[in-house]
Every structure is written in C-alpha cells, then in structure tokens.
C-alpha cells in the first residue's frame, strides 16, 4: 500500500502517516506517546514520517492495537469501508455470546441510536 516514485526508489509513506496522524489527533497523542503505547521505538516511527523506512505489517498491527482499531479499520479508505470493517468486528466479537448478551448489546445500540 506504499506509493513509490517511478523515477527513483524514494519511499512515500503518506498513506500510513495520514492515517496515523488522524488517530493521533483523535487520541490527542504525540508520536512519542504512540511509540510508548504501541511499544515501537520513537526513532522507528520518525523514520516512517521522514520516508526513510516503511512500516512493517507487524508494527502497523501494534499501532492498531494501541489505537484500539482493527487493521481493516486502519486501511479503510472510505467511511463505508470503515463502517463495514467495524460491523464485521462487532459481529466477530458477538459470535460467541449467548442470546441474553447479544440482546443486551442490541439494547445498548438502540439506546445510542435515539
């Protein structure tokens, strides 16, 4: 998902860094705080933002865990994709619940939707 220039091998991490910046703003975190929450060195994260290094999927997964989102939510490009990823995660979480627990979640959702 990283963009590379046709003229050289420069790294362009905008797709990652824009997503990371979005979630940093939501959490009111700095890059340093993200590094602590995700257990990734601040130097590594700064290398992504200066296009010196590409983030690995393992590190993106750590960032998603720190932000409490799924990989699908992180990589969603539209609000519909984000909603679909979120609903899919919710269904996955609910699959092992009993009927009473599912009903409780449904009641909460109905209450929030008022």
pTM above 0.85, yes or no: no
Q: DSSP strand E in 1-114: where?
A: 3-4, 11-12
Report CA 33 to chain centroid distance, whole Å.
Answer: 15
pLDDT tens digits along 89-109: 889 988 999 999 999 999 998
> Which two tokens mark 65?
């865990």
pLDDT tens digits along 33-92: 999 999 999 999 999 999 999 999 999 999 999 999 999 999 998 889 989 998 998 899
List, in order of start, the domains of the chain with CATH numbers: 8-75 (1.10.260.40), 78-114 (no CATH)
Question: Three-state SS for 114?
Answer: coil
How many CB atoms are closer than 10 A to CB 63? Answer: 25
Judge whether 55 and 64 are in contact, CB under 8 Å.
no
């Amino acid at each position: 998902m990283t963009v590379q220039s046709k003229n050289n091998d420069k790294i362009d991490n905008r797709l990652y860094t824009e997503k990371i910046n979005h979630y940093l703003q939501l959490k009111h975190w700095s890059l340093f705080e993200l590094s602590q929450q995700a257990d990734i060195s601040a130097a590594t994260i700064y290398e992504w933002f200066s296009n010196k290094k590409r983030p690995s999927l393992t590190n993106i997964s750590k960032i998603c865990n720190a932000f409490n989102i799924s990989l699908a939510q992180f990589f969603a490009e539209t609000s519909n994709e984000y909603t679909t990823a979120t609903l899919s995660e919710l269904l996955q979480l609910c699959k092992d619940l009993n009927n009473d627990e599912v009903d409780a979640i449904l009641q909460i959702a109905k209450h929030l939707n008022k």
